[in-house]
């Protein structure tokens, strides 16, 4: 049986946001990152400069040859082409970092017998390569692998100060969707909210400055009170008149946002109901208001 440890030479293929954060965190935690490869040598050098004893490579095969454990941190659609372009050897551990793809991805790769496979996906939004080396602390990492491979991955999580969840192949798409809705789409949602400030003569930047403290407080409320208790605002209060004014304003100033507002609000009513502080008649009235507005625009 082959075991992996901090002393196992590690290679990282992909020097983007995730690969950079991962390599730096591994190095800080005492793992032996010996080689990093990227599509451009400049990116590999930039990452290698932040890791103690690693060598930058443009030839990805050299990174594979130097490593016992290989993390593939390329974009999802590139993982399989990268794997099929390389030669791995028996006893190596190949770990891809896709959130949506499972261990089944390896079934389509031309890997020799005796190559171990795993998935290691941090459910976090990495928007830049310029992260602190503790950026994995307290986040959750989804892992897949055989029993003793998972022990190695769990040890990495513990050394990062991160949490982990064990996933099945059939879990990956919906698990990853939760992260995309929270990470990528939340950023776009904030952008949409800030853009509304332009409608009344101020700037998007002023909107972000005003709304960001609220975003942080919402996060604090959820952490402190949980769901549904942290759900707040006019829907949680049953302020039908306020909601009617919001719909009127959206229809006038940002009509293309109306379907999003109505559908999002309707999805959120389940948590208002779960909070159990409003009469069912009020919830029914709010739901009917939203449905009628969607029907008027024939967009249900």
Per residue of the chain (300 residues), give pLDDT as tens: 558 999 999 999 999 999 999 999 999 999 999 999 999 999 999 999 999 989 999 999 999 999 999 999 999 999 999 999 999 999 999 999 999 999 999 999 989 999 999 999 999 888 766 666 678 999 999 999 988 899 999 999 999 999 999 999 999 999 999 998 888 888 899 999 999 999 999 999 999 999 999 999 999 999 999 999 999 999 999 999 999 999 999 999 999 999 999 999 999 999 999 999 999 999 999 999 999 998 876 544
* Core vs surface per residue 160-195: b (16+ CB within 10 A) or e: bebebeebeeeebeebbeebeeeeeeeeeeeeebbe
Does residue 177 sit within a domain?
A: no
Number of Cβ atoms within 10 Å of the Cβ of 288: 10
Q: Which pLDDT score, from 0 to 100, does residue 127 have?
A: 72
Containing 176, the helix (H) or strand (E) segment is: helix 172-182
Residues 92 and 124 in one domain: yes
Task: Assign 143 to helix, strand or coil.
Answer: strand
Quote the pLDDT of residue 5: 94
Query: How far is 233 from 102, CA to CA, in rounded Å?
Result: 38
How far is the CA of 179 from the CAs of 122, 144, 172, in angstroms? 10, 17, 11
For residues 186 and 90, membership in a common domain is answered with: no
Task: For residues 123 and 167, give the distance between their C-alpha atoms in angstroms, rounded to a whole number.
Answer: 13
Q: Which residue segment(s) compose the domain that 64 sits in? A: 10-172
Q: Are residues 55 and 74 in contact, defined by beta-carbon separation less than 8 angstroms?
A: no
Q: What pLDDT is recorded for position 298?
A: 58
pLDDT of residue 63: 98
Pairing of strands 116-122, 140-144: antiparallel
Assigned token pair, 1: 């049986």
Closest Cα partner for 78 from 48, 98, 95, 107?
98
253 and 168 belong to one structural domain: no
Looking at the domain assignment, is residue 270 inside a domain?
yes
Question: Which pLDDT does position 300 carry in this prediction?
Answer: 44
Cα 89 to chain center, whole Å?
Answer: 31
For the stretch 138-166, pLDDT in tens is: 999 999 998 889 999 999 999 999 999 99
Residue 23 and residue 122 in one domain: yes
Last residue of a domain, one of 140, 172, 204: 172
Domain boundary among 118, 150, 172: 172
CATH number of the domain bearing residue 134: 3.40.50.720
Coil, helix or strand at residue 10: strand
Q: How far apart are CA 104 and CA 86, in angstroms?
A: 18
- Residue 13 has a pLDDT of 98
Name the domain count of the chain: 2
């Amino acid at each position: 049986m082959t075991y992996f440890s901090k002393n196992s030479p590690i290679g990282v293929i992909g020097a983007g946001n995730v690969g950079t954060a991962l390599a730096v965190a591994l190095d800080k935690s005492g793992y032996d990152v010996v080689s990093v490869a990227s599509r451009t040598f400049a990116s590999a050098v930039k990452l290698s400069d932040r890791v103690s004893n690693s060598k930058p490579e443009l030839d990805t095969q050299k990174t594979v040859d130097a490593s016992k454990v290989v993390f593939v941190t390329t974009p999802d659609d590139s993982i399989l082409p990268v794997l099929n372009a390389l030669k791995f050897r028996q006893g190596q551990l190949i770990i891809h970092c896709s959130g949506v793809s499972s261990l089944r991805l390896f079934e389509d790769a031309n890997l020799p017998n005796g190559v171990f496979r795993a998935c290691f996906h941090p459910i976090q939004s990495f928007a830049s390569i310029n992260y602190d080396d503790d950026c994995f602390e307290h986040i959750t990492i989804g892992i897949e692998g055989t029993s003793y491979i998972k022990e190695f991955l769990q040890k990495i999580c513990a050394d990062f100060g991160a949490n982990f969840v064990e996933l099945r192949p059939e879990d990956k798409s919906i698990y990853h969707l939760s992260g995309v809705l929270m990470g990528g789409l939340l950023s776009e949602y904030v952008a949409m909210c800030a853009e509304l400030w332009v409608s009344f003569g101020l700037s998007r930047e002023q909107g972000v400055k005003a709304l960001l403290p609220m975003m942080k407080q919402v996060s604090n409320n959820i952490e402190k009170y949980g769901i549904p208790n942290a759900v707040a605002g006019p829907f949680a209060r049953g302020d039908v008149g306020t909601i009617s004014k919001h719909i009127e304003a959206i229809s006038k100033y940002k009509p293309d946002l109306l379907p999003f507002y109505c559908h999002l609000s309707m999805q959120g009513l389940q948590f208002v109901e779960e909070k159990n502080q409003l009469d069912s008649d009020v919830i029914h009235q709010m739901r009917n208001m939203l449905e009628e507005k969607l029907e008027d625009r024939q967009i249900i």
